[in-house]
Structure 1
Amino acid sequence: MSRNGDIRGFWGRSAASSKPSSSQSKPGPSLQPAPDLQLPDSSPRTPPKPTPKPRDRTDEIKGSDDEGDDSDASLESISAFIVRKKGPAPHQRDHNLTTTPKAKRIASTNLKSPLTIQPKHKFDLKYLIDHARQSDRAEESARRADDYINQGDGDDDDDHNEHLKKVQKDPVLLEKTAKDLLDSEEQDAKGGKLMRAMHRTKADESRRLHYFFDLEQPLVKPPRSQFPRKAAKGRWQCLANSRTRDQTVILGLPHTIASKGTALPDELFLWVLDEVCVEKNAQLRMQYCNLVILCRDSIARLVTDAQLYSMLERLGGPKYSQGRKGAKLQSLPKVENPRRRKDWSGLVTFLGLLERMAPDLSTPTVVEAIQLLIRMALDPVVSTTVRGEHVAAMDALIMALAKLGTREWNKACKTISSYLYDGVSEPLHQVMPIAHMPKAGVKALDLRRRMAAVVLFRDPEMGGRPVDSTLTLDGITDRLGEADFRVRPSTDFDSLRALVMLLDIVIGSAGFLAKKQRSTGVTPPATANAGAANADREAADRRFDADIDGLTYRLKMVHDKIHDSTLLSRKIAKASIDLVAKRLTYAVRTRPPPKTSIFDSEPKEDASLPKQRDFMKNWAQKKAERNAAALANGNGDVIHVKA
């Protein structure tokens, strides 16, 4: 290099001399690094942002897969082995512009993504093991129960059934059996719960019902009575032809003949009574009823209790038995949803016809018909299907009896009340016909109270006398103190509720208390002024209210003794008692009880409170003296006792 030359030539020759030939410096294809590991330039500047280009749907985005940094980047992508069949060639990007600097790439290898998906099992093995163990224990318990039930001799079923009945009736044996079904480790924890569940779900054999109608499904075509052809003579010959008989009755020709004064033969009258309940045609049933009502003389002579039972027997009712008086009515175990598809149109027709025939029936037949309806009221079908028709028929029959207060009336009431008392034994069933009695009318209310008094006080003689003349406050108080009104662990709360309903019916408006107050009061002379009469009346009202408060207090005592638990029968019994107490307080009492407020004067102190305070004070003082004496000279004794 010359002395006066340009210094830049030195650098140019050095660079040219140090630059290797392209043939020597060009590495082979096997030594060329992968595009992802290509080193960037020495300057760490950020490359310029490339202009966006359209991306094909088959392009592969770098870093989109959840691959760790330890993946082998030297391997080629699997897409290189896939031959593209259609479409343009994929776009080749410049790796110098898209490659991350090495320093940043290495630093990022020490970090882990927070979005790493942790493996989750579909089922927890520990839970599956516990579930399998519980299932095995349940199967083992069921197997032991089956073995215990079947442990009797297979040849002697009677002994086996007796053994099961013995287990059910003996509480100790039942508890032992229940605990035997559990494992030893579960006896203390679940034995009590199992026993309570068994007691709540135990079948109660006393819950039986009196079914008036047959529980079996009725026949599609019940047997029909044969038409009396010999009686169809004269004007009634229009009914002889069987083809035109129904159309003749529907058109009202027999009704027109009877309204003209021509009597219907007895054979035809009885045939109509037999057909009226089983006839499917509603128009025929209506015309039959209209024809029967026109024959008033035939109703009084031919309609008897036997005929009424015969009409209901075609609907599934009981057979008539002449010697049934005084006998207990048969009860059957309770059946869920009996007679689902039975047609009760015939029963509705019977009750409607009985209501219309009531004024023309004889007095003995009326009494028998009332007893028939009382027996029918024991069947649940009355309260669910024909409640209104039953009440209307009963009201019409009661109105057909003798006048209220007469000897015949008292005799009829005694007969009807004795029939219910002798035929039904449980209060829960005895209250059902009384509850279905009509509640409007003086005669109906009097008969209703007499029936309730006979059942409540177990005295058939009370049915022959008015209730207000025989009932007293002391008698009711004594009745509330008897065993069936006492709340015990073995109390049947359904029966208690029935007794409370009977008591409510018997008390009524408490006329017997008002009568007693009027009789005990002093009648002022005729010359006395109106102020004295009002004062006596107010005094009688205060005594009456005091007696009502006494009855309410006795009912409240029974109410408070009932432990309100999850049993529905207890809740209903408490609600029934509370309802009666509120009725006496706000409906029977002459005036509502006075309300107290903070501005009222303090009530008078009870006379027994000072005596009770002195007793508690003396008891506490004596106890303190005994404790002090024990601490003073009884330390050794105490230590000796502890030792």
Structure 2
Amino acid sequence: PSLHRSPLAIIPKHRFDLKALAKDARRDTALQASSLRAQEAVRESTAPSTPAAGAVIPASHSVLSDIVSSDRGRDAQKVLRAVQRADLGHQELRYCFFQTDFDAPTATKPPPEAMQSPWSLLTKGNRRVREQNLVSGVPFNVVGNQAGMPEPIFLWVLDEICVAQSTVARTELCNLVIICPDQIASLFTPDLLRSIWRRIGVDEVAMERGQISVSKVAEDIYKGRDWAPLLAILALLKDISSALPLETRKYLLKSLLRMAMDRLIIINVDLDSQFEDTFKAIIKTIPPEEWDSFCHDACALLESNFSSQCIRINALLCLPTSSPRAHDLRRRLAVTFLFHDASLARRAPEEVVTLPKIIQRLAQPEFQVGPATEFAELRAAILILDMAVDDGSVIAFASDDDTDAEDEFNAHVDELAARLNEIWRRTNDTGMKLARTEAKSVVEWVQKRVTHTVRTRRKRAKSIFDVPGQERKQKKDLPRQQEFMKSFFRKKAPSPKLASKQETERKPEQKPEPEAKAEPKAESEPEPEPEVASDSEEIVLDSIVVRGG
């Protein structure tokens, strides 16, 4: 007999259609396999060809391939392409303040005066004996007794500082020069400083206006160079800065500014530290009446020597900001480089530069991003603009209550930040394009710094319910509202609790009745006090009445 299915049997229902899920899984597998085949085809078409037999593979390629092989070789080609981009054709323009093929000079023959007693302590004997004589302090006593050194010996000691092989001898000879202020004031001329620069390998010593040639060179162009003589000379110039003639100090500062154009000062920590100390010591010795003219001459010199912003930015990055003079000079240089006008350096930047001028400068082709944009130059130009803006002190508010001037200043800051954000948005840094990535990160950093540090106050958050001009109207109505609240609280009626307390104080004190002492329940169950409206409730009620009226 056939069995009939009950109409009440429960038929299972799946939450998902298993056939549809299986179909989707097969489709995903096919798409993934197709994608892998396409990637493999692209990888084979872009892979470098196998070197021919007998071809020489650079050592850096093989070394980097071995390094990356630990990661199954997935990034080997990326690293090798990065190395190939680091060749001379991909280097930025660089200025070399020192000779690239410089050979250390030999010591010169001492003058006849140095061969006689008591100066023979500096010349006779081997190097160890001369060092012992210097460390003993006898030559310092001789200099003190004779109030200095003869001119030939003084010049010979300066020459020995440039060629001495021993650190001890170099240091003691510098200390010997320091205790001769009269010879420093009379003999340390710009010509003498030029001869010292040549002695330690400076290429161009004439501080004259005119274009200086730059080239693309390797990063390690000074590899193996001994910078101990340069460090010793910089330390000596720092110690004798106050005794130098004024013209020598001006020439020295210009020389240091041009030296800072060489990237060597930035990448060498020891030179950078000594450079900052020397620069701060010398720049504060310039008289105030000579300051504006010196700044103009220095800015005009550097502006005419170099046209590339990548080279100019090196000097600005080397200048110390802890010194007010150096900070002021850095900002004047930045304004000169930004507007290509050395006449702006005659006065303080806050007197000649405004934020609207800087915003207009951003509209020039130099700051427009396009196919022909040099992003290394754009990055340097944005950094120079940031130094020109500085802390934003480009206008002086008339008074603390001048809210209109403050609002206008903040509006200019917001417009400047918006222009920078537009440059950031237009910069496409996808792919292995390091110059684009660096430029975009610098633009973003400057934009955020301007927004959060140059504004006089934090930017107010906007709401969808805000009305145009609402903030200005609120600031205008704020004094009237404050006066209204002061008068409102000043006319407040006295509290009933306070009035009852004053009445009890006025009444004569009465003795408590004996019946009150006999009832202990009065202490355990105090009588409930009449409810009295508190001060806050009165304020609320009064405000309701005022609003209703």
Kept after mapping to 2: 8 A contact 1:228/1:268: yes
Summarize the Cα distance change of 1:245–1:537 in structure 2 as closer, same or farther, 3 Å threshold: same
Quote the residue 1:481 is aligned against: 363
Partner of 2:246: 363
Greater shift in the superposed pair: 504-513 or 234-243: 234-243
**Residue 443 (structure 1) aligns with:** 325
Shift of residue 356 of structure 1?
A: 0.9
Q: Report the secondary structure of 1:277's partner residue.
A: helix
The whole-number CA distance in structure 2 between the counterparts of 1:601 and 1:504 is 33
Relative distance call for 1:240 and 1:445 in structure 2 (3 A) is closer
Against the structure 1 CA distance between its residues 335 and 305, is the aligned structure 2 distance closer, same or farther, given a 3 Å change threshold? Answer: farther
- Pair 1:236-2:101 in alignment: no
Structure 2 match to 1:116: none
Cα distance in 2, alignment partners of residues 314 and 234 from structure 1: 28
- Look up the match of 2:465: 602
Q: TM-score with structure 2 length normalisation?
A: 0.66
- Compute the displacement of 1:429 (Å): 0.5
Counterpart residue type for residue 401 of structure 1: I
**Within 2, Cα distance between the matches of 1:204 and 1:464?**
40
| Structure 1: distance between partners of 2:322 and 2:50 | 63
Structure 2 residue 410 is the aligned partner of structure 1 residue 545 = yes
In the TM superposition, what is the alpha-carbon distance from 1:491 to its structure 2 partner? 0.4
Once the two structures are superposed, residues 185-229 of structure 1 have per-residue CA deviations (whole angstroms, 9 ceiling, x without a partner) of: xxxxxxxxxxx99x979975783211122223634xx31121012
Shift of 1:584: 1.5
Change (3 A) 1:491 1:291: same
Map residues 257-268 of structure 1 onto 2, 5 A cutoff: 257-260=142-145, 262-268=147-153
Q: Which runs of 5+ in 1 are unaligned?
A: 1-130, 144-195, 524-533, 607-643
1:507 — aligned with what?
A: 389
Show the counterpart of 2:353: 471
1:210–1:235 distance in 2 versus 1, CA, 3 Å: same
CA 1:245/1:581 → structure 2, altered by over 3 Å: closer, same or farther? same
The amino acid that maps onto 2:437 is K
Pairwise mapping of residues 34-49 of structure 1 onto structure 2 (< 5 A)?
A: none
C-alpha deviation, 1:399, in angstroms: 1.0
Cα deviation code 1:400-454 (max 9, x no counterpart): 1112xx3x11111111111111111111111111111111122111111111111
Instruction: State the partner residue of 1:281.
Output: 166
Equivalent residue for 2:220? Answer: 337
1:459 to 341, 348, 351: 341
1:376 aligns with 259
Could you say if the C-alpha distance between residues 341 and 206 of structure 1 is closer, same or farther in structure 2, counting changes exceeding 3 Å? closer
Aligned to 1:554: 419
Give the Å deviation of 1:350: 1.3
Q: Which residue is 2:62 aligned to?
A: none
Corresponding residue number in structure 1 for 2:300: 418
CA contact (8 A) 1:417 1:451 kept: yes
Q: Which residue of 2 aligns with 1:577?
A: 443
Q: Which has the larger radius of gyration?
A: 1
Secondary structure of 2:240's aligned partner: helix
Contact 1:218/1:315, CA 8 A, preserved across alignment = no
Does structure 1 retain, via aligned residues, the 8 Å contact 2:295–2:332?
Answer: yes
Aligned 8 A contact 1:306 1:320 in 2: no
Superposed displacement of residue 307, structure 1: 2.4
Match of 1:348 in 2: 231
Q: Paired residue for 2:186, among 277, 281, 301?
A: 301
Aligned to 1:70: none
Which residue pairs with 1:248 in the alignment? Answer: 133
Secondary structure of the structure 1 residue equivalent to 2:149: coil
Matched-pair contact (CA < 8 Å) for 2:313–2:380: yes
Q: 1:496, 1:573 within 8 Å by CA — same for their partners in 2?
A: yes
Q: Cα distance, 1:603 vs. partner? A: 2.8
Contact 1:217 1:339 in 2 (8 A): no
- Aligned counterpart, 1:48: none
Secondary structure at 2:361 match in 1: helix
Q: How far did 1:485 drift?
A: 0.6
Aligned to 2:455: 589
Q: Deviations over 1:519-552 (max 9, x none)?
A: xxxx6xxxxxxxxxx5x24443323222211211
SS at match of 1:446: helix
Tell me if structure 2 keeps the 8 A contact 1:428–1:498: yes
Helix, strand or coil for the counterpart of 1:594?
coil
The within-5 A match list for 1:184-203 is none
User: Which residue number corresponds to residue 25 of structure 2?
Assistant: none
SS in 1 for 2:148: coil
Which amino acid is the alignment partner of residue 247 of structure 1?
Answer: Q
**In structure 2, what residue type is equivalent to 1:562?**
T
Quick check: 1:255–1:287 contact (8 Å CA) kept in 2? no
Q: Is the 2:262–2:314 Cα contact (8 Å) retained in structure 1?
A: no
Post-superposition CA distance 1:214-252 (Å, at most 9, x none): 223634xx3112101235556435445345544322322
Task: Give the SS at the match of 1:512.
Answer: coil
Give the direction of change, closer, same or farther, for the CA distance of 1:237–1:262 in structure 2 (3 Å limit). Answer: farther
The count of residues paired between Structure 1 and Structure 2 equals 395
- What secondary structure sits across from 1:590 in the alignment? coil
**TM-score, structure 1 normalization:** 0.57
User: Who is 1:316 aligned against?
Assistant: 201
TM-aligned CA distance change 1:307 to 1:562, over 3 Å: same
**Aligned mate of 1:396, from 281, 291, 298:** 281
1: CA distance, partners of 2:279 / 2:266: 14
Alpha-carbon separation, structure 1, partners of 2:170 and 2:86: 47
Deviation at 1:253, TM superposition (A): 1.2
SS at match of 2:461: coil
Match of 2:6 in 1: none
In the alignment, the residues of structure 1 paired with residue 52 and residue 119 of structure 2 have an alpha-carbon distance, to the nearest angstrom, of 74
Q: How does 1:187-226 map to 2 (within 5 A)?
A: 204=89, 207-216=92-101, 218-219=103-104, 222-226=105-109
Q: 1:367 is paired with a residue of what secondary structure?
A: helix
Deviation by residue 1:467-517 (Cα, 9 ceiling, x = unmatched) = 11111233212211111011111100111111111111111111113x2x4
The answer on whether the counterparts of 1:374 and 1:433 sit within 8 Å (CA) in structure 2 is yes
Which amino acid is 1:369 matched to?
Answer: L
The two structures, once aligned, show a CA RMSD in angstroms of 3.2
Unaligned runs of 5+ in 2: 1-40, 54-80, 470-549
Contact 2:89 2:216 in 1 (8 A): no
Contact 1:450–1:466 at 8 Å: present in 2 too? yes
CA shift, 1:457, in A, is: 0.5
The structure that is helix-richer by fraction is 2
Provide Cα deviations, 1:366-398, integer angstroms capped at 9, x if missing partner.
111111112222223211221101111111111
> Deviation at 1:319?
5.4
- Cα distance between partner residues in 2 of 1:560 and 1:471: 27
- Kindly indicate whether the alpha-carbon contact (under 8 Å) linking 1:552 and 1:584 is maintained by their aligned counterparts in 2: yes
CA contact (8 A) 1:278 1:346 kept: yes
Deviation at 1:261, TM superposition (A): 5.1
Q: Supply the distance in 2 between the matched residues of 1:140 and 1:205 (Cα, whole angstroms).
A: 24
SS in 1 for 2:295: helix
